[in-house]
Amino acid sequence: MIEIRHLTKIYDDKIVLQNINLDINNGDFVVIMGPSGSGKSTFLSIISGLSRPTEGSVCYDDINISKLPESDVGKFRNSKIGFVFQKFNLMENLTVYENILPPVIIAEKKITKKDIFELLKRFEIDNLSDVKVKRLSGGEQQRVALARALVNDPELLIADEPTANLDYRLKNEVIDTFKKIHYQGKTIIVATHDRVFTEIEGARIINMINGKIAEMV
């Protein structure tokens, strides 16, 4: 369970997030909606430990990651959280397989090459393992980013605008993938403009405006 309490983030005197309180249960599918600049991405970056809050706390069960030393946050993120970025943030000159490696290299648990290929197969990109990602289509790149996020089998998958750069067909593919991952018992938090996510059965919808939670469904 994730307990978010009094979360505030101020950048250069500008309040980006203001006193956010939220509980997310294991297995939840949380969809965060809201206009650009509403603080969705900042919120995701803080709950994933990529940024620190100005005030407040983010607790995973009893662990407050906002107070953990940087090295422990890294280890925590590596084992518990997978993150998919809007622009995928893949290393373009590396191959698909090499792009999956960063979380594996520093993982506490052993992940074999076979495990990685099984994952690539799940996302139907095993035949592209030796191809540089810059040669892939947007949809293929998105699947590589997803595979990288899931390779350490994290409990939580966070995605920032995962369908923003995709056409209609690919968008549906990605949504199906998220549904499958959720069906396997993972907790998913997605920040998006895409209303299609709100139609996912059982999804909790959170609307953010001006750094505050305006509505929770």
Partner 1 sequence: MKIGKEFNIFLFSIKLLLKRKSSYYIFLILMVLVFFIASASFITASIKKELILTHEELPDIVIQRVIGGRQQYIPMDYIDKIVSIPGIKSILPRVWGYYYFDYSGVNFSIVGIDPLEPFYKKSLEENIKHIKTDDLIKRDDWMILGNGVRRLFSEIGYVDYAYFKKPNGEYIKLRRFDYLTQESAIFTNDIILISQNTARKLLGMDDDYVSDIVVNVYNKNEVVTIAAKIRDILKDARTVTKKDVLNSYQNVFNYKLGFFITLFGVLIFTMMVIVIDKLGGLSETEKLEIGVLKATGWTTSDVLRLKFYESSFLVLQAFIIGVLLAVIYVYILKAPIMMNIFSGYASLKTEYQLIFAVDFKTLFLIFIAIVPFYIAAIIIPTYRIATLDTYEVFK
Among 13, 62, 70, 130, binds partner 1 (CB under 8 A): 70
* Under rule CB under 8 A, residue 59 binds partner 1: no
Among 50, 63, 170, 196, binds partner 1 (CB under 8 A): 50
* Under rule CB under 8 A, residue 51 binds partner 1: yes
Beta-ladder partners of 3: 23, 59
Report the C-alpha gap between 162 and 149 in whole angstroms. Answer: 12
Contact 34, 207 (CB under 8 A): yes
* Under rule CB under 8 A, residue 144 binds partner 1: no
* Under rule CB under 8 A, residue 56 binds partner 1: no
* Under rule CB under 8 A, residue 79 binds partner 1: yes
Among 38, 41, 141, 142, binds partner 1 (CB under 8 A): 41
Q: Which is nearer to partner 1, 132 or 179 (CB)?
A: 132
Q: What DSSP designation does 126 have? A: G
Report the C-alpha gap between 38 and 209 in whole angstroms. Answer: 5
Q: Which is nearer to partner 1, 53 or 173 (CB)?
A: 53
Among 87, 109, 121, 135, binds partner 1 (CB under 8 A): 87
Q: How far is the CB of 106 from partner 1 (least distance, A)?
A: 6
* Under rule CB under 8 A, residue 101 binds partner 1: yes
* Under rule CB under 8 A, residue 13 binds partner 1: no
Q: Report the residue count for the chain.
A: 217
Q: 3-class secondary structure for 41-71?
A: HHHHHHHCCCCCCCEEEEEECCEECCCCCHH
E-state strands within the chain: 2-11, 14-24, 29-33, 55-60, 63-64, 81-84, 156-160, 187-191, 204-209, 212-216
Report the C-alpha gap between 172 and 176 in whole angstroms. Answer: 6
Among 31, 38, 77, 147, binds partner 1 (CB under 8 A): 77
Q: Which stretch binds partner 1 (CB under 8 A): 17-25, 77-85, 175-183, 195-203?
A: 77-85
Q: What DSSP designation does 4 have? A: E
Which residues form the interface with partner 1 (CB under 8 A)?
A: 41-42, 45, 50-52, 70-71, 74-79, 83, 85, 87, 89-94, 98, 101-103, 105-107, 148, 152
